[in-house]
Amino acid sequence: MAQNLLQGKKGIIFGALDEKSIAWKTAKRCVEQGAQIVLTNAPIALRMGEIKKLAEECNAPVIPADITNMDDLNNLFTQSMEHFGGKIDFVLHSVGMSINMRKGRPYTDLDYDFTHKTMDISAISLHRVLQTAYKLDALNEHASVVALTYIAAQRVFPDYSEMADAKAMLESVARSFGYHYGIKNKVRINTISQSPVRTTAGSGVKGFDDFINFAEEMSPLGNASADQCADYTVTLFSDLTRMVTMQNLYHDGGFSSTGVTMAVLDKK
C-alpha cells in the first residue's frame, strides 16, 4: 500500500508504548508512506524498552519528553529540527491517562490533585505542544497536527469518568489553537474520535470488553481498528486534506450517527 502520501514529510509521534498503541501503528504507517519521524514518550515509558524495536524498524531517533514538561517539549522540538535539518510537517498527539481511574476512584469521588494531573497529561498537553511549536516557529506552512479523542466528550459513557472532561477540553484546544495557527501559517489542527480498541490506555476503562463488543454491534461498519486509525491519520497528514482544520472527525464505523441497531435489539 505504498502511495508515498507522506514523501518528504517529517513528523513527531507522541505516545507509542507497545505494539498495540495507536501511535505505534501510525508511526509505522507514516514511514511506509515515505515520512521521516521522531518518536517520543515519557521517560518512564521509554524505560520499559519496547520502543527501541519500533525505532529500529522506523529508523527513527527516540527523544524522551514528559508532555507536561515545557523544558522537555522545547528540547524535543529543537532536537527534532536539528535531526531533520528543518521544520516539522506533522505531529501526532496520542497521549492520555486518568490518574483517578488508575486509582479506582469513581467520578463522584474524584481526588482533584489527580484530576489536575489527568487534565494536564490528557488535554492541556496539546496546548503545551502547540505553544512550544508556535513559539519556536517549528512547523512548516500547511503542517498538520492530529490528537486522538473519544465520543465520551459529547455523550455520557459512565465508566469513562474524568477522561470525558479531558477529551472535551482536548477537542476545544484543537479548535481554539487551530484558529491561531491557521492564521499564523496555515497549520491545521484536528482531533480524530476513534472507536474503542484494546490498548494499555483503552483497557484502563472499567468493563472495557463488554463495551467494545457493544460498540461493535452499534456500528454499521463495526469498530474501526487501530490500523485503520493509522490509515486515516496518514490522510490528515497528507496534502490531500489541506483545507481540513479545527474539526472533530469521527472514525468509528458510524457509531456516532447510530441510535440503535438490529444487532443490539435482537439481544433483548
Ligand X SMILES: NC(=O)c1ccc[n+]([C@@H]2O[C@H](COP(=O)([O-])OP(=O)(O)OC[C@H]3O[C@@H](n4cnc5c(N)ncnc54)[C@H](O)[C@@H]3O)[C@@H](O)[C@H]2O)c1
Binding status of residue 13 toward ligand X by CB under 6 A: no
Quote the cell numbers at residue 9: 514529510
The residues carrying an active-site annotation are 150, 160
- H-helix or E-strand spanning residue 142: strand 139-149
Q: How far is the CB of 190 from ligand X (least distance, A)?
A: 14
Binding positions for NAD(+)? 15, 21-22, 95, 167, 197-201
Query: By rule CB under 6 A, what string of x and - marks binding of each residue 142-171 to ligand X?
Result: ------xxx---------------------
Query: By rule CB under 6 A, what string of x and - marks binding of each residue 23-42 to ligand X?
Result: x-----------------xx
Binding status of residue 190 toward ligand X by CB under 6 A: no
Which residues sit opposite 251 in a β-bridge? 194
Burial label, 93 (beta-carbon count in 10 A; 0-12, 13-18, 19+): buried
Q: How far is the CB of 141 from ligand X (least distance, A)?
A: 27
Binding status of residue 197 toward ligand X by CB under 6 A: yes
Binding status of residue 101 toward ligand X by CB under 6 A: no
HEC assignment per residue over 39-79 = EECCHHHHCCCCHHHHHHHHCCCECCCCCCCHHHHHHHHHH
Cα 69 to Cα 75, 128, 135, 173, distances in angstroms? 10, 8, 15, 18
Q: How far is the CB of 88 from ligand X (least distance, A)?
A: 17
Binding status of residue 121 toward ligand X by CB under 6 A: yes
Binding status of residue 4 toward ligand X by CB under 6 A: no
Binding status of residue 253 toward ligand X by CB under 6 A: no
Binding status of residue 126 toward ligand X by CB under 6 A: no
Distance (Å, whole) CA 149 – CA 147: 7
Q: Which residue has the cell 522540538?
A: 77
Smaller CB separation from ligand X, 48 or 264: 48
Alpha helices in the chain (DSSP H): 22-32, 43-46, 51-58, 70-84, 99-102, 112-119, 125-136, 162-185, 208-217, 226-237, 262-265
Query: By rule CB under 6 A, what string of x and - marks binding of each residue 49-88 to ligand X?
Result: -----------------xxx--------------------
| Cα–Cα nearest to 237, from 192, 196, 193, 194 | 192
Q: Which of 200, 210, 213, 221 binds ligand X (CB under 6 A)?
A: 200
The SS3 of residue 36 is strand
Binding status of residue 178 toward ligand X by CB under 6 A: no
Binding residues (CB under 6 A) for ligand X: these are 15, 17, 21-23, 41-42, 45, 66-68, 94-97, 121, 148-150, 194, 196-197, 199-202
